[in-house]
């Protein structure tokens, strides 16, 4: 039988290094995920659809609104003109026969696609020519989504428009 003898002290540095590797990897992962979550929470370009669960539950109401939109047959025509403070928004609302709709309550939820977390709610004012107008202040140039709601005579019409907001004119 051969005897094994231990002639020197055991080396102790190798076990500690490998024991700390998973701890360092776990800490780096937690710090990385936490940093990304903090950036995403403050970034206006990162946004979720508001009330998405409630909207999903009430899908039948959305279907009924689409049917109402078809029945009403309104036509919305949007014009955006650059101004020194953003963009002048003009909305022409016509009924099925093409006649301008006067005395309506028109609201818009507007947001740039690149910054969907920054939403603006506008109440448009009727102009003497029958159009509805509002100022879209500090509007960044680019593609915007405008969720329009027209209420007139107890009826509600909604439509989503997309438009390019032009660069503002210098003051």
Q: What are the chain's domains? A: 52-165 (2.60.40.10)
Full-model pTM: 0.72
Query: Rounded CA gap, 159 and 162, in Å?
Result: 10
Is there a contact between 162 and 146 (Cβ–Cβ < 8 Å)?
yes
| pLDDT of 13 higher than 70 | no
How many alpha carbons fall within 13 Å on the CB side of residue 116?
Answer: 11
| pLDDT of 39 higher than 70 | yes
| pLDDT of 31 higher than 80 | yes
Query: Rounded CA gap, 108 and 147, in Å?
Result: 5
Tens-digit pLDDT profile for residues 42-101: 776 666 677 778 878 888 998 999 999 999 999 999 999 888 888 899 999 999 998 999
Give the residue, 14 or 67, on which the prediction is more confident: 67
Confidence grade of residue 7 (pLDDT, cut at 50, 70, 90): low
**Nearest CA among 86, 109, 125 for reference residue 159:** 109
Tens-digit pLDDT profile for residues 145-170: 999 999 999 999 999 999 998 876 65
Which pLDDT belongs to residue 72? 93
């Amino acid at each position: 039988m051969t005897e094994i003898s231990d002639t020197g002290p055991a080396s102790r540095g190798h076990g500690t290094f490998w024991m700390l590797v998973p701890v360092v990897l776990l800490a780096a992962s937690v710090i990385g995920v936490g940093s990304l979550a903090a950036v995403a929470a403050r970034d206006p370009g990162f946004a979720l659809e508001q009330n998405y669960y409630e909207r999903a539950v009430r899908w039948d109401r959305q279907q009924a609104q689409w049917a109402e939109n078809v029945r009403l047959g309104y036509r919305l025509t949007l014009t955006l003109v650059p101004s020194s403070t953003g963009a002048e928004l003009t909305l022409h609302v016509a009924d099925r026969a093409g006649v301008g709709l006067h005395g309506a309550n028109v609201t818009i939820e507007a947001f740039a696609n690149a910054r969907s977390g920054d939403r603006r709610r506008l109440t448009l004012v009727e102009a003497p020519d029958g159009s509805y107008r509002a100022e879209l202040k500090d509007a960044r140039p680019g593609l915007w989504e405008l969720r329009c709601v027209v209420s007139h005579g107890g009826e509600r019409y909604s439509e989503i428009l997309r438009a390019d907001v032009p660069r503002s004119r210098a003051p």
